[in-house]
Structure 1
Amino acid sequence: MRLLVPAAAAAALLALSGCSDPEPGSPLPTGAPAETSTTAPPPAPTATATPTDDAPTPEPGPAPTLPPEATTDDAAGAEAFVRYWYDSLNYAIRTGDTASVREASLLPECIECEALASSVESAYDAGGSLVGGRADVVEAIAPTPDGSGAVLLSVVVQQQPLQRLDSAGDVVSDDMGEGVDESSQSVVIGRNDTGDGWLMVGLGQ
């Protein structure tokens, strides 16, 4: 299943597949010490750091910011905006903060946008979280805007499997799937009310 679906996006997000941690590397080989012709004791070992399970969790980083090139009323601006929108969605999935993706969407008209944002918020309610699910834009192709204020783009997206965890860190939804999923999406964006930027209007397969 994919993150982007025309109507049932809320249910789809929670049913997406989860990813597993990579296998740890093999331990260094050990063997008997080489024979020596001296009876001198080996040098004292040097103190080394001991790994700990209390290492801090990496910070999620700042929310993405809209780049100037994603506001221009041309094909390049449309393509840059779509990439920014997916960056905002990825940030929401990673942190539960949907402010950026909501601000970049025409709500409530964009039903898919609302469903996706609400699904993320629901997953993070009561301390839950989402792991994985990153959607990377491989290609975004936009025609030259025709002056109507709307542009239909063809977008290729690669999405990682996703897990939903509860507040205790236990897996609530975990469909391992077949790894990274690549799909073609149709995306519609439109100029905002002030005409100085874009908004996501609709998306689907």
Structure 2
Amino acid sequence: MRDLRGGLIRTTLGCALAGTVLLTGCSEKQEASTTLPTTAAAPTTETLPPLGPADFPVPDEARTKDAAGAEAFLRYWIDLLNRQRTVPSGEALRELGAECQDCLRIAGNYDAAAAAGERYVGGELSLNDVTAPLIDNDEAMIAFGARREPVSLVDANGTVLEARAEPAPNLSSGITLIWSQMDRSWLVKGFTLG
């Protein structure tokens, strides 16, 4: 019993002494550091070059060279077609589909309408069915169904010049995309709507 008590006393004194040393270390005056943390920016991932209209750029998720990126680009493209029809302007379509004949035709229609003071009313596109993209090296092909709402071309007075009064509920469509290493994005090589 005597050894147990002596060990207990030694342990208690040891803890008290250690606590005193620690507390004494905290009470000593410490000088302020004379160096400050660096103000240099932390390394970041490389930013993507701008692509698409400044107020409607191609989103980052559509700029990956994989199936998810190709499908995201298709969804962006449909939204871009809807947007540019209301402007109307074909510039963005030419930028993203310079090799696509149907894209250039649509862009020309939008530009001709703008030059004549005409505009499109309606005609919104939406995706129905999108197949998994088929990717072969730098190309992706996607088949999809698209719904087109009724559309009219009207002049500055609102007179209807051309109209498709009925919706097209499921246009059998497709897009071929090509990967641009320079733009780090998919671009449209071919596009068929209906």
The amino acid that maps onto 1:90 is N
Deviation of 1:182 after TM superposition, in Å, equals 1.5
Change (3 A) 1:98 1:195: closer
Q: Which ranges of 4 or more aligned residues in structure 1 deviate by more than 6 Å? A: none
Bigger CA radius of gyration: 2
CA separation in 2, counterparts of 1:94 and 1:180?
A: 19
Output the TM-score relative to the length of structure 1. 0.63
Aligned residue-pair number: 140
Change (3 A) 1:86 1:175: closer
Indicate if the aligned counterparts of 2:130 and 2:144 stay in contact, CA closer than 8 A. yes
Q: 1 or 2, which has the higher strand percentage?
A: 2
Which of 87, 94, 112 lines up with 1:95 in the alignment?
A: 87
Q: CA RMSD in A?
A: 1.9
CA separation in 1, counterparts of 2:190 and 2:154?
A: 28
Tell me what 1:169 maps to: 158
Tell me what 2:140 maps to: 151
Output the TM-score relative to the length of structure 2. 0.66
Deviation of 1:193 after TM superposition, in Å, equals 4.3
The amino acid that maps onto 1:64 is F
Tell me what 2:104 maps to: 114
Deviation of 1:174 after TM superposition, in Å, equals 2.1
Change (3 A) 1:175 1:81: closer
Tell me what 2:31 maps to: none
After TM superposition, the structure 1 = structure 2 runs for residues 7-156 of structure 1, keeping only pairs within 5 Å, are 63-105=55-97, 107=98, 109-143=99-133, 145-146=135-136, 148-156=137-145
Secondary structure class of the residue paired with 1:88: helix
Secondary structure class of the residue paired with 2:165: coil
Unaligned runs of 5+ in 1: 1-61
Q: 1 or 2, which has the higher helix percentage?
A: 2
Secondary structure class of the residue paired with 1:185: strand
Deviation of 1:65 after TM superposition, in Å, equals 2.3
Which of 170, 175, 181 lines up with 1:182 in the alignment?
A: 170
Secondary structure class of the residue paired with 1:127: coil
Indicate if the aligned counterparts of 1:142 and 1:151 stay in contact, CA closer than 8 A. no
Identical positions, percent: 29
Instruction: Choose between structure 1 and 2 for higher RCO, CA contacts under 8 A separated by at least 6 residues.
Output: 1
